[in-house]
Amino acid sequence: MADNNSSPAASVAVLGTGIMGAAMARNLARAGLDVRAWNRTRAKAEPLAADGVRVTDTPAEAVDGADTVLTMLLDGPAVLDAMRQAALRLAPGTLWLQMSTVGPAALEPLVRFAGERDLRIVDAPVLGTKAPAEKGQLIVLAAGPQELRERAGRVLDVVGGRTQWVGEDAASGAASRLKLVVNSWVLTIIGGTGETLALAKGLDVDPRAFLEAVGGGSLDMPYLRMKSELLLTGDLEPSFTVSAARKDARLVNEAGEAAGVRMDLAAATAERLRRAEEQGHGGEDGVAAYFASFVG
Ligand code: NAP
Q: pLDDT by residue for the chain (296 residues), tens digit each? A: 344 444 555 899 999 999 999 999 999 999 999 999 999 999 999 999 999 999 999 999 999 999 999 999 999 999 999 999 999 999 999 999 999 999 999 999 999 999 999 999 999 999 999 999 999 999 999 999 999 999 999 999 999 999 999 999 999 999 999 999 999 999 999 999 999 999 999 999 999 999 999 999 999 999 999 999 999 999 999 999 999 999 999 999 999 999 999 999 999 999 999 999 999 999 999 999 999 999 97
Separation of 72 CA from ligand 1 center, angstroms? 6
Q: What is the pLDDT of residue 8?
A: 53
**53 and 69 share a domain?**
yes
Residues in the chain: 296
- Buried/exposed 273-292: b ≥16 CB within 10 Å, e otherwise: bbbbbeeebbebbbbbbbbb
Separation of CA 270 from chain center: 17
Ligand 1: which of 15, 17, 20 to mutate, judged by most atoms within 8 Å of the beta carbon?
20
For ligand 1, whether the C-beta of 44 sits within 6 Å is yes
What is the pLDDT, as a whole number, of residue 286? 97
CATH number of the domain encompassing residue 122: 3.40.50.720
Residues 40 and 162 in one domain: yes
Ligand 1 touching residue 43 (CB < 6 A): no
| Dist. CA 231–CA 281, nearest whole Å | 13
- The answer as to whether 40 is a domain residue is yes
* 15 and 154 in a common domain: yes
Of 142, 172, 202, the one marking the end of a domain is 172
Domain boundary among 172, 205, 239: 172
Per-residue pLDDT, 10:
82
Element (H, E) at 139: strand 138-143
The best mutation among 15, 53, 56, 73 to test binding of ligand 1, ranked by most ligand atoms within 8 Å of the C-beta, falls on 73
For residue 1, being part of any structural domain is answered with no
In a domain, residue 2? The reply is no
Q: Is residue 31 part of a domain?
A: yes
Which residues are CB-neighbours of 32 under 8 A, at least 6 positions away?
Answer: none
Strands 160-167 vs 138-143: parallel, antiparallel or unpaired: parallel
Tell me, in angstroms, the distance from the centre of ligand 1 to residue 74's CA.
3
Span from the CA of 243 to the centroid of ligand 1 (angstroms): 9
- The residues near 11 (Cβ < 8 Å, ≥ 6 apart) are 33, 34, 35, 36, 65, 66, 67, 68
48 with 141, same domain: the answer is: yes
Whole-structure pTM value: 0.96
Ligand 1 touching residue 71 (CB < 6 A) = no
Q: Which of 117, 146, 172 is the last residue of a domain?
A: 172
pLDDT reported for residue 296? 76
User: Is residue 17 lining ligand 1, measured as CB closer than 6 Å?
Assistant: yes
Q: How far is the CA of 79 from the centre of ligand 1 (A)?
A: 10
Same domain as 50, residue 160: yes
pLDDT, residue 3, reads: 43
> How much distance in Å is there from the Cα of 33 to the middle of ligand 1?
22
**Atom 38 (ligand 1): residue with closest C-alpha?**
129
Number of domains forming the structure of the chain: 2
Do 43 and 100 have their domain in common?
yes
Q: Is 40 in the pocket of ligand 1 (CB under 6 A)?
A: yes
Q: Same domain for 67 and 125? A: yes
Angle between helices 242-258 and 103-117 (to 10 degrees): 90
234 with 266, same domain?
Answer: yes
CATH of the domain at 222: 1.10.1040.10
Q: Whose Cα sits closest to atom 11 in ligand 1?
A: 40
The single-letter DSSP state of residue 90 is P
Whether residues 265 and 287 share a domain: the answer is yes
Note whether residue 5 is domain-resident.
no
The boundaries of the domain holding residue 234 are 177-293
* Residue to mutate (ligand 1; options 26, 74, 226, 277; most atoms within 8 A of CB): 74
Does 181 lie in the same domain as 168?
Answer: no
Q: Is residue 6 part of a domain?
A: no
162 lies in the same domain as 18? yes
Same domain, 162 and 182: no
Q: Is 72 in the pocket of ligand 1 (CB under 6 A)?
A: yes
